[in-house]
Structure 1
Amino acid sequence: MDTSDGLHLSQSTYDADILNRVGMSDCKPIESPIPSKTFSVSDCPLASAEAEHFRHLVGSLQYLIITRPDIAYTVNKFCQHMHPPLGDDFKLLKRLIHYIKGALSFGIPIFPGLLELTAYFDSDRAGDPTYHKSTSGYYAFLGETLISWFVKKQIIVARSST
Protein backbone atom coordinates (compact mmCIF):
# COMPACT_ATOMS: atom_id res chain seq x y z
CA MET A 1 0.00 0.00 0.00
CA ASP A 2 1.42 3.39 -1.01
CA THR A 3 1.23 6.29 1.45
CA SER A 4 2.13 9.94 1.08
CA ASP A 5 5.19 9.63 3.39
CA GLY A 6 6.54 6.37 1.99
CA LEU A 7 5.46 2.75 1.75
CA HIS A 8 3.59 0.42 4.07
CA LEU A 9 4.33 -3.31 4.04
CA SER A 10 1.51 -5.41 5.41
CA GLN A 11 -0.01 -8.84 5.02
CA SER A 12 -3.62 -7.87 5.69
CA THR A 13 -4.88 -10.40 3.12
CA TYR A 14 -2.88 -13.16 4.85
CA ASP A 15 -4.22 -11.94 8.24
CA ALA A 16 -7.78 -12.25 6.92
CA ASP A 17 -6.98 -15.70 5.48
CA ILE A 18 -5.83 -16.92 8.90
CA LEU A 19 -9.02 -15.60 10.48
CA ASN A 20 -11.12 -17.41 7.84
CA ARG A 21 -9.21 -20.69 8.24
CA VAL A 22 -9.90 -20.82 11.97
CA GLY A 23 -13.50 -19.63 11.57
CA MET A 24 -12.93 -16.42 13.54
CA SER A 25 -13.40 -13.78 10.83
CA ASP A 26 -16.33 -12.32 12.81
CA CYS A 27 -14.64 -12.41 16.24
CA LYS A 28 -14.50 -9.41 18.54
CA PRO A 29 -11.17 -7.52 18.25
CA ILE A 30 -9.04 -6.80 21.33
CA GLU A 31 -6.18 -4.34 21.87
CA SER A 32 -3.43 -6.53 23.34
CA PRO A 33 -1.86 -9.69 21.88
CA ILE A 34 -1.05 -11.19 25.27
CA PRO A 35 -2.50 -10.78 28.76
CA SER A 36 -0.48 -8.74 31.24
CA LYS A 37 -0.09 -11.77 33.49
CA THR A 38 2.36 -14.51 32.53
CA PHE A 39 1.39 -17.63 30.65
CA SER A 40 -0.32 -20.03 33.01
CA VAL A 41 0.79 -23.62 33.24
CA SER A 42 -1.85 -26.30 32.72
CA ASP A 43 -1.39 -30.04 32.82
CA CYS A 44 -4.19 -30.74 30.33
CA PRO A 45 -2.60 -31.56 26.94
CA LEU A 46 -4.59 -31.02 23.76
CA ALA A 47 -5.95 -33.97 21.81
CA SER A 48 -3.84 -35.09 18.85
CA ALA A 49 -5.98 -33.33 16.21
CA GLU A 50 -6.17 -30.12 18.26
CA ALA A 51 -2.41 -30.18 18.85
CA GLU A 52 -1.81 -30.51 15.11
CA HIS A 53 -4.18 -27.59 14.47
CA PHE A 54 -2.33 -25.55 17.13
CA ARG A 55 1.06 -26.24 15.50
CA HIS A 56 -0.26 -25.41 12.03
CA LEU A 57 -1.70 -22.11 13.23
CA VAL A 58 1.48 -21.15 15.10
CA GLY A 59 3.47 -21.94 11.93
CA SER A 60 1.20 -19.60 9.98
CA LEU A 61 1.78 -16.90 12.58
CA GLN A 62 5.56 -17.39 12.30
CA TYR A 63 5.27 -16.43 8.64
CA LEU A 64 3.12 -13.45 9.59
CA ILE A 65 5.75 -11.93 11.90
CA ILE A 66 7.80 -11.04 8.81
CA THR A 67 5.72 -7.84 8.68
CA ARG A 68 4.27 -7.89 12.22
CA PRO A 69 6.92 -7.30 14.91
CA ASP A 70 4.08 -6.45 17.32
CA ILE A 71 3.25 -10.17 17.66
CA ALA A 72 6.85 -11.54 17.53
CA TYR A 73 7.18 -11.98 21.32
CA THR A 74 3.80 -13.71 21.66
CA VAL A 75 4.42 -16.05 18.73
CA ASN A 76 7.84 -16.85 20.23
CA LYS A 77 6.09 -17.91 23.45
CA PHE A 78 3.75 -20.20 21.49
CA CYS A 79 6.71 -21.78 19.69
CA GLN A 80 8.11 -22.73 23.11
CA HIS A 81 4.88 -24.66 23.83
CA MET A 82 4.64 -26.64 20.59
CA HIS A 83 5.38 -30.10 22.05
CA PRO A 84 2.93 -30.83 23.65
CA PRO A 85 0.61 -27.81 23.57
CA LEU A 86 -1.75 -27.49 26.52
CA GLY A 87 -5.35 -26.29 26.78
CA ASP A 88 -4.29 -22.90 28.18
CA ASP A 89 -1.92 -22.42 25.23
CA PHE A 90 -4.82 -22.82 22.80
CA LYS A 91 -6.92 -20.28 24.75
CA LEU A 92 -4.06 -17.77 24.56
CA LEU A 93 -3.65 -18.49 20.83
CA LYS A 94 -7.32 -17.66 20.29
CA ARG A 95 -6.73 -14.40 22.17
CA LEU A 96 -3.94 -13.56 19.71
CA ILE A 97 -6.33 -14.21 16.82
CA HIS A 98 -8.76 -11.70 18.39
CA TYR A 99 -5.89 -9.17 18.50
CA ILE A 100 -5.03 -9.80 14.84
CA LYS A 101 -8.68 -9.13 13.94
CA GLY A 102 -8.35 -5.64 15.43
CA ALA A 103 -4.98 -4.98 13.78
CA LEU A 104 -5.47 -6.13 10.19
CA SER A 105 -3.83 -3.01 8.75
CA PHE A 106 -0.70 -3.22 10.91
CA GLY A 107 2.60 -3.63 9.11
CA ILE A 108 5.96 -1.99 8.60
CA PRO A 109 6.07 1.62 7.42
CA ILE A 110 9.04 2.53 5.23
CA PHE A 111 9.97 6.21 5.40
CA PRO A 112 12.44 8.19 3.29
CA GLY A 113 15.02 10.03 5.33
CA LEU A 114 18.44 9.92 6.94
CA LEU A 115 20.30 6.62 6.87
CA GLU A 116 21.21 6.55 10.55
CA LEU A 117 21.36 3.10 12.19
CA THR A 118 19.79 2.81 15.66
CA ALA A 119 19.28 -0.38 17.67
CA TYR A 120 17.51 -1.23 20.92
CA PHE A 121 18.06 -4.38 22.98
CA ASP A 122 16.19 -5.69 26.01
CA SER A 123 16.02 -8.84 28.08
CA ASP A 124 13.79 -10.08 30.87
CA ARG A 125 15.94 -11.62 33.56
CA ALA A 126 14.75 -15.19 34.18
CA GLY A 127 11.29 -14.35 32.82
CA ASP A 128 10.36 -17.98 32.15
CA PRO A 129 8.78 -19.19 35.40
CA THR A 130 9.39 -22.87 34.62
CA TYR A 131 13.04 -22.95 33.51
CA HIS A 132 14.20 -19.51 34.76
CA LYS A 133 15.64 -18.60 31.36
CA SER A 134 15.68 -15.08 30.00
CA THR A 135 14.09 -13.88 26.77
CA SER A 136 16.13 -11.39 24.75
CA GLY A 137 15.18 -9.25 21.82
CA TYR A 138 16.33 -6.37 19.67
CA TYR A 139 14.93 -3.89 17.15
CA ALA A 140 17.12 -2.13 14.57
CA PHE A 141 16.08 0.96 12.63
CA LEU A 142 17.61 2.60 9.56
CA GLY A 143 16.38 6.15 9.91
CA GLU A 144 12.74 5.76 10.98
CA THR A 145 12.33 2.40 9.19
CA LEU A 146 12.41 -0.85 11.14
CA ILE A 147 14.81 -3.15 9.30
CA SER A 148 15.44 -6.03 11.71
CA TRP A 149 14.08 -7.53 14.92
CA PHE A 150 14.63 -10.69 16.90
CA VAL A 151 13.19 -12.39 19.99
CA LYS A 152 14.68 -15.55 21.49
CA LYS A 153 14.75 -17.47 24.74
CA GLN A 154 18.34 -17.69 25.91
CA ILE A 155 19.94 -21.13 25.99
CA ILE A 156 21.39 -20.90 29.49
CA VAL A 157 20.01 -19.67 32.82
CA ALA A 158 21.01 -16.07 33.60
CA ARG A 159 22.61 -15.63 37.01
CA SER A 160 23.17 -11.91 36.64
CA SER A 161 21.36 -9.01 35.01
CA THR A 162 24.61 -7.41 33.71
Structure 2
Amino acid sequence: MYLLVYVDDLILIGDNATKVNHFIVILAQRFSIKDLSLLTYFLGVEVVPNKHGLLLSQRRYILDLLTQTKMQDAKTVPTPIPTSPTLMLNSGFSLFDPTEYRQVVGSHQYLLITRPDIVFAVNKLSQYMHCPTTAHWSFVKRLLRYLVGTVDDGLQLYKDSTLNLHAFSDTSLSLQAFSDVDWARDKDIFCSTDAYVVYLGINPIFWSSKKQRTVVRSSTKAEYRSVANTAVELNFICCLLTDLGISLPSCPIIYYDNIGATQLCSNPIFHSRIKHVAIDFHFITDQVQNGALHVAHVSFEDQLADALTKPLP
Protein backbone atom coordinates (compact mmCIF):
# COMPACT_ATOMS: atom_id res chain seq x y z
CA MET A 1 0.00 0.00 0.00
CA TYR A 2 1.01 3.59 -0.63
CA LEU A 3 -0.40 6.49 1.37
CA LEU A 4 -0.13 10.06 0.07
CA VAL A 5 -0.81 12.79 2.62
CA TYR A 6 -1.28 16.45 1.72
CA VAL A 7 -2.33 18.42 4.83
CA ASP A 8 -5.74 16.84 5.57
CA ASP A 9 -6.29 15.15 2.19
CA LEU A 10 -5.17 11.56 1.69
CA ILE A 11 -4.93 9.05 -1.15
CA LEU A 12 -4.58 5.36 -0.25
CA ILE A 13 -3.85 2.78 -2.94
CA GLY A 14 -2.94 -0.88 -2.82
CA ASP A 15 -3.26 -4.21 -4.64
CA ASN A 16 -5.32 -5.83 -1.89
CA ALA A 17 -8.75 -4.27 -1.29
CA THR A 18 -9.27 -6.14 1.96
CA LYS A 19 -6.07 -4.81 3.50
CA VAL A 20 -6.80 -1.31 2.23
CA ASN A 21 -10.21 -1.33 3.90
CA HIS A 22 -8.70 -2.72 7.10
CA PHE A 23 -6.13 0.08 7.14
CA ILE A 24 -8.93 2.65 6.77
CA VAL A 25 -10.66 1.12 9.79
CA ILE A 26 -7.44 1.40 11.81
CA LEU A 27 -7.05 5.05 10.80
CA ALA A 28 -10.66 5.76 11.81
CA GLN A 29 -9.92 4.41 15.29
CA ARG A 30 -7.23 7.04 15.79
CA PHE A 31 -8.41 9.98 13.71
CA SER A 32 -11.66 11.53 12.58
CA ILE A 33 -11.69 10.67 8.87
CA LYS A 34 -14.22 10.52 6.05
CA ASP A 35 -13.91 7.83 3.39
CA LEU A 36 -14.90 9.29 0.01
CA SER A 37 -14.66 5.90 -1.72
CA LEU A 38 -12.97 5.73 -5.14
CA LEU A 39 -10.71 8.60 -6.11
CA THR A 40 -12.51 11.12 -8.34
CA TYR A 41 -11.22 14.55 -7.28
CA PHE A 42 -8.07 15.57 -5.44
CA LEU A 43 -6.70 19.09 -4.89
CA GLY A 44 -8.47 20.48 -7.95
CA VAL A 45 -7.51 17.55 -10.19
CA GLU A 46 -10.29 15.40 -11.61
CA VAL A 47 -9.48 11.69 -11.90
CA VAL A 48 -11.49 10.08 -14.69
CA PRO A 49 -11.14 6.29 -15.17
CA ASN A 50 -11.31 4.98 -18.74
CA LYS A 51 -10.46 1.79 -20.59
CA HIS A 52 -6.81 2.83 -20.97
CA GLY A 53 -6.18 3.91 -17.38
CA LEU A 54 -6.75 7.29 -15.75
CA LEU A 55 -7.26 10.75 -17.20
CA LEU A 56 -6.08 13.56 -14.95
CA SER A 57 -7.99 16.71 -15.83
CA GLN A 58 -8.39 20.21 -14.42
CA ARG A 59 -11.43 21.05 -16.53
CA ARG A 60 -13.42 22.45 -13.62
CA TYR A 61 -10.49 24.61 -12.55
CA ILE A 62 -10.04 25.96 -16.09
CA LEU A 63 -13.73 26.80 -16.42
CA ASP A 64 -13.63 28.67 -13.12
CA LEU A 65 -10.55 30.59 -14.29
CA LEU A 66 -12.18 31.51 -17.62
CA THR A 67 -15.35 32.62 -15.85
CA GLN A 68 -13.37 34.70 -13.39
CA THR A 69 -11.55 36.48 -16.22
CA LYS A 70 -14.72 36.69 -18.39
CA MET A 71 -12.97 34.83 -21.22
CA GLN A 72 -15.22 31.76 -21.44
CA ASP A 73 -16.70 32.88 -24.76
CA ALA A 74 -13.46 34.15 -26.31
CA LYS A 75 -12.29 33.05 -29.74
CA THR A 76 -9.85 30.15 -29.57
CA VAL A 77 -6.25 30.08 -30.82
CA PRO A 78 -4.18 27.00 -31.81
CA THR A 79 -1.07 27.67 -29.68
CA PRO A 80 -0.43 28.96 -26.14
CA ILE A 81 2.01 31.68 -27.19
CA PRO A 82 2.83 33.18 -30.62
CA THR A 83 6.19 32.75 -32.30
CA SER A 84 6.36 36.49 -32.95
CA PRO A 85 6.70 39.16 -31.76
CA THR A 86 9.25 38.27 -29.09
CA LEU A 87 8.06 39.19 -25.62
CA MET A 88 10.47 41.51 -23.78
CA LEU A 89 10.57 43.34 -20.47
CA ASN A 90 9.84 46.77 -21.97
CA SER A 91 7.23 45.67 -24.49
CA GLY A 92 4.12 47.84 -24.26
CA PHE A 93 3.18 50.22 -21.47
CA SER A 94 3.17 49.54 -17.73
CA LEU A 95 -0.17 48.44 -16.30
CA PHE A 96 -1.77 50.90 -13.91
CA ASP A 97 -2.78 48.06 -11.59
CA PRO A 98 -0.74 44.83 -12.01
CA THR A 99 -2.84 42.90 -9.48
CA GLU A 100 -5.03 41.10 -12.01
CA TYR A 101 -2.02 40.11 -14.13
CA ARG A 102 -0.31 38.55 -11.11
CA GLN A 103 -3.47 36.75 -10.00
CA VAL A 104 -4.20 35.25 -13.42
CA VAL A 105 -0.62 34.17 -14.14
CA GLY A 106 -0.37 32.74 -10.62
CA SER A 107 -3.56 30.76 -11.26
CA HIS A 108 -2.02 29.31 -14.43
CA GLN A 109 0.90 27.91 -12.43
CA TYR A 110 -1.38 25.41 -10.73
CA LEU A 111 -2.51 24.17 -14.16
CA LEU A 112 0.99 22.86 -14.86
CA ILE A 113 0.14 19.73 -12.86
CA THR A 114 -1.70 18.25 -15.84
CA ARG A 115 -0.89 20.63 -18.72
CA PRO A 116 2.75 20.43 -19.87
CA ASP A 117 1.69 22.09 -23.13
CA ILE A 118 1.50 25.50 -21.40
CA VAL A 119 4.64 25.16 -19.27
CA PHE A 120 6.82 27.41 -21.44
CA ALA A 121 4.13 30.08 -21.80
CA VAL A 122 3.51 30.26 -18.04
CA ASN A 123 7.26 30.26 -17.36
CA LYS A 124 7.71 33.18 -19.75
CA LEU A 125 4.80 35.23 -18.43
CA SER A 126 5.87 34.66 -14.81
CA GLN A 127 9.12 36.50 -15.49
CA TYR A 128 7.26 39.82 -15.72
CA MET A 129 5.35 39.69 -12.44
CA HIS A 130 7.33 42.63 -11.03
CA CYS A 131 6.51 45.00 -13.89
CA PRO A 132 3.80 43.71 -16.26
CA THR A 133 2.85 45.76 -19.31
CA THR A 134 -0.04 45.92 -21.77
CA ALA A 135 1.89 43.63 -24.14
CA HIS A 136 2.37 41.03 -21.40
CA TRP A 137 -1.34 41.20 -20.56
CA SER A 138 -2.28 40.59 -24.21
CA PHE A 139 -0.15 37.40 -24.13
CA VAL A 140 -1.99 36.31 -20.97
CA LYS A 141 -5.33 36.76 -22.72
CA ARG A 142 -4.03 34.74 -25.67
CA LEU A 143 -3.14 31.92 -23.28
CA LEU A 144 -6.66 32.07 -21.87
CA ARG A 145 -8.04 31.86 -25.41
CA TYR A 146 -5.91 28.75 -25.94
CA LEU A 147 -7.43 27.21 -22.80
CA VAL A 148 -10.92 27.92 -24.12
CA GLY A 149 -10.24 25.55 -27.02
CA THR A 150 -8.44 22.90 -24.94
CA VAL A 151 -10.55 22.90 -21.78
CA ASP A 152 -11.12 19.13 -22.03
CA ASP A 153 -7.43 18.27 -22.47
CA GLY A 154 -5.69 16.46 -19.66
CA LEU A 155 -2.96 14.00 -18.81
CA GLN A 156 -3.69 10.38 -19.78
CA LEU A 157 -1.93 7.77 -17.65
CA TYR A 158 -1.92 4.31 -19.24
CA LYS A 159 -2.23 1.23 -17.06
CA ASP A 160 -0.97 -1.01 -19.87
CA SER A 161 2.53 0.24 -20.55
CA THR A 162 3.09 -2.43 -23.19
CA LEU A 163 1.13 -0.30 -25.65
CA ASN A 164 3.63 0.88 -28.22
CA LEU A 165 2.46 4.49 -28.19
CA HIS A 166 5.95 5.92 -28.14
CA ALA A 167 8.87 4.98 -30.32
CA PHE A 168 11.31 5.01 -27.42
CA SER A 169 9.23 3.05 -24.89
CA ASP A 170 10.32 -0.57 -25.04
CA THR A 171 9.67 -1.62 -21.44
CA SER A 172 6.91 -0.77 -19.00
CA LEU A 173 9.25 0.63 -16.33
CA SER A 174 11.96 2.22 -18.45
CA LEU A 175 12.91 5.67 -17.18
CA GLN A 176 13.77 8.10 -19.95
CA ALA A 177 14.00 11.85 -20.32
CA PHE A 178 14.02 14.29 -23.21
CA SER A 179 16.21 17.33 -22.59
CA ASP A 180 16.50 20.50 -24.64
CA VAL A 181 17.78 24.08 -24.38
CA ASP A 182 17.15 27.28 -26.28
CA TRP A 183 20.41 29.21 -26.21
CA ALA A 184 20.24 32.93 -25.32
CA ARG A 185 16.65 33.42 -26.52
CA ASP A 186 15.89 35.91 -23.73
CA LYS A 187 16.59 39.22 -25.47
CA ASP A 188 16.58 41.19 -22.21
CA ILE A 189 19.42 39.44 -20.38
CA PHE A 190 20.33 36.72 -22.94
CA CYS A 191 19.86 33.79 -20.60
CA SER A 192 19.03 30.37 -22.01
CA THR A 193 15.93 28.31 -21.28
CA ASP A 194 16.37 24.62 -20.57
CA ALA A 195 13.65 22.03 -20.20
CA TYR A 196 13.08 18.32 -19.81
CA VAL A 197 10.27 15.78 -19.84
CA VAL A 198 10.64 12.55 -17.88
CA TYR A 199 8.77 9.39 -18.86
CA LEU A 200 8.20 6.23 -16.85
CA GLY A 201 7.35 3.77 -19.58
CA ILE A 202 4.94 5.64 -21.84
CA ASN A 203 3.64 7.93 -19.11
CA PRO A 204 5.07 11.44 -18.61
CA ILE A 205 5.60 11.91 -14.86
CA PHE A 206 7.64 15.12 -14.59
CA TRP A 207 8.48 18.15 -16.72
CA SER A 208 10.16 21.48 -16.23
CA SER A 209 10.98 24.66 -18.14
CA LYS A 210 13.30 27.18 -16.49
CA LYS A 211 15.49 30.09 -17.43
CA GLN A 212 19.14 29.45 -16.59
CA ARG A 213 20.48 31.78 -13.91
CA THR A 214 23.68 32.83 -15.66
CA VAL A 215 24.56 33.99 -19.15
CA VAL A 216 26.83 31.58 -21.04
CA ARG A 217 28.95 32.51 -24.04
CA SER A 218 29.01 28.98 -25.45
CA SER A 219 26.03 27.06 -26.77
CA THR A 220 27.82 23.86 -25.74
CA LYS A 221 27.94 25.04 -22.14
CA ALA A 222 24.22 25.80 -22.19
CA GLU A 223 23.50 22.39 -23.71
CA TYR A 224 25.69 20.56 -21.23
CA ARG A 225 24.11 22.38 -18.30
CA SER A 226 20.68 21.33 -19.53
CA VAL A 227 21.70 17.67 -19.60
CA ALA A 228 23.18 18.02 -16.11
CA ASN A 229 19.95 19.49 -14.73
CA THR A 230 18.02 16.61 -16.25
CA ALA A 231 20.42 14.10 -14.68
CA VAL A 232 19.81 15.66 -11.25
CA GLU A 233 16.06 15.14 -11.63
CA LEU A 234 16.56 11.55 -12.78
CA ASN A 235 18.68 10.89 -9.69
CA PHE A 236 15.84 12.08 -7.47
CA ILE A 237 13.25 9.98 -9.31
CA CYS A 238 15.47 6.89 -9.09
CA CYS A 239 15.77 7.37 -5.32
CA LEU A 240 12.01 7.82 -5.03
CA LEU A 241 11.34 4.64 -7.02
CA THR A 242 13.82 2.78 -4.82
CA ASP A 243 11.97 3.95 -1.70
CA LEU A 244 8.73 2.69 -3.26
CA GLY A 245 10.30 -0.71 -3.84
CA ILE A 246 10.39 -0.38 -7.61
CA SER A 247 13.45 -1.58 -9.50
CA LEU A 248 14.22 -0.37 -13.01
CA PRO A 249 15.12 -2.94 -15.69
CA SER A 250 17.86 -0.69 -17.09
CA CYS A 251 19.66 2.55 -16.37
CA PRO A 252 17.81 5.79 -17.22
CA ILE A 253 18.32 7.36 -20.63
CA ILE A 254 18.50 11.04 -21.55
CA TYR A 255 17.64 11.80 -25.18
CA TYR A 256 19.34 14.90 -26.52
CA ASP A 257 19.41 16.46 -29.98
CA ASN A 258 22.88 18.03 -29.75
CA ILE A 259 25.60 15.61 -30.84
CA GLY A 260 28.39 17.62 -29.19
CA ALA A 261 26.76 17.65 -25.77
CA THR A 262 25.90 13.97 -26.12
CA GLN A 263 29.54 13.07 -26.82
CA LEU A 264 30.79 15.26 -23.97
CA CYS A 265 28.78 13.19 -21.51
CA SER A 266 30.75 10.02 -22.26
CA ASN A 267 34.01 11.06 -23.94
CA PRO A 268 36.34 12.96 -21.57
CA ILE A 269 38.78 13.77 -24.37
CA PHE A 270 36.54 16.71 -25.29
CA HIS A 271 36.80 18.28 -21.83
CA SER A 272 40.10 20.01 -22.46
CA ARG A 273 38.43 22.19 -25.07
CA ILE A 274 35.72 23.49 -22.74
CA LYS A 275 37.57 24.31 -19.51
CA HIS A 276 35.13 27.17 -18.94
CA VAL A 277 32.41 24.63 -18.13
CA ALA A 278 31.97 24.47 -14.34
CA ILE A 279 33.34 21.34 -12.71
CA ASP A 280 30.12 20.58 -10.84
CA PHE A 281 28.41 19.78 -14.14
CA HIS A 282 30.91 17.01 -14.83
CA PHE A 283 29.22 14.71 -12.36
CA ILE A 284 27.11 13.52 -15.26
CA THR A 285 30.23 12.04 -16.88
CA ASP A 286 30.88 9.95 -13.79
CA GLN A 287 27.35 8.59 -13.91
CA VAL A 288 27.66 7.63 -17.57
CA GLN A 289 31.01 5.94 -17.04
CA ASN A 290 29.68 4.10 -13.97
CA GLY A 291 26.70 2.78 -15.93
CA ALA A 292 24.11 4.66 -13.87
CA LEU A 293 22.99 6.80 -16.79
CA HIS A 294 22.96 6.72 -20.57
CA VAL A 295 22.82 9.75 -22.84
CA ALA A 296 21.61 9.13 -26.40
CA HIS A 297 21.18 11.35 -29.42
CA VAL A 298 17.71 11.97 -30.82
CA SER A 299 16.77 13.94 -33.93
CA PHE A 300 15.28 17.37 -33.37
CA GLU A 301 12.02 16.20 -34.98
CA ASP A 302 11.61 13.72 -32.10
CA GLN A 303 12.71 16.09 -29.34
CA LEU A 304 9.64 16.22 -27.10
CA ALA A 305 11.12 18.88 -24.82
CA ASP A 306 11.28 21.33 -27.71
CA ALA A 307 7.82 22.69 -26.87
CA LEU A 308 9.04 23.61 -23.37
CA THR A 309 11.89 25.89 -24.48
CA LYS A 310 10.38 28.14 -27.17
CA PRO A 311 7.12 29.14 -28.86
CA LEU A 312 6.20 26.71 -31.61
CA PRO A 313 3.87 27.30 -34.57
* TM-score, shorter chain, exceeding 0.5: yes
Q: Higher Cα Rg: structure 1 or 2? A: 2
User: How many Å separate the matches in 2 of 1:64 and 1:101?
Assistant: 14
| Pair 1:157-2:218 in alignment | no
| Pair 1:26-2:73 in alignment | yes
Aligned to 1:124: 182
Deviations 1:32-52 (A, max 9, x none): 00001221542510012xx10
User: How many Å separate the matches in 2 of 1:122 and 1:26?
Assistant: 35
Match of 2:94 among 3, 22, 45: 45
| Pair 1:138-2:185 in alignment | no
Deviations 1:12-64 (A, max 9, x none): 0000000000011111111100001221542510012xx10000001100011
Q: Pairwise CA RMSD of aligned residues?
A: 1.0
Write out the 4+ residue segments of structure 1 that deviate beyond 3 Å after TM superposition: none
User: How many Å separate the matches in 1 of 2:202 and 2:150?
Assistant: 21
Q: Give how far 1:3 is off.
A: 1.8
| Pair 1:71-2:123 in alignment | no
> Which amino acid in 1 is paired with 2:213?
I
Q: Give how far 1:66 is off.
A: 1.0
Q: Give how far 1:121 is off.
A: 0.6
Is the 2:184–2:192 Cα contact (8 Å) retained in structure 1? yes
User: How many Å separate the matches in 1 of 2:174 and 2:155?
Assistant: 18
Gaps of 5+ in 2: 1-47, 162-171, 221-313
User: How many Å separate the matches in 2 of 1:26 and 1:140?
Assistant: 35
Structure having the larger proportion of residues in strand: 1
1:31 partner SS: coil
- Percent of paired sites with the same residue: 41
| Pair 1:102-2:160 in alignment | no
TM-score by length of 1: 0.95
For structure 1, which segment, 138-147 or 107-116, has the greater mean C-alpha deviation from structure 2 after superposition? 107-116
Q: Give how far 1:2 is off.
A: 1.6
Gaps of 5+ in 1: none
1:60 partner SS: helix
> Which amino acid in 2 is paired with 1:73?
F
Q: Of the two structures, which has the highest relative contact order with CA contacts closer than 8 Å and spacing of 6 or more?
A: 1
User: How many Å separate the matches in 2 of 1:42 and 1:125?
Assistant: 21
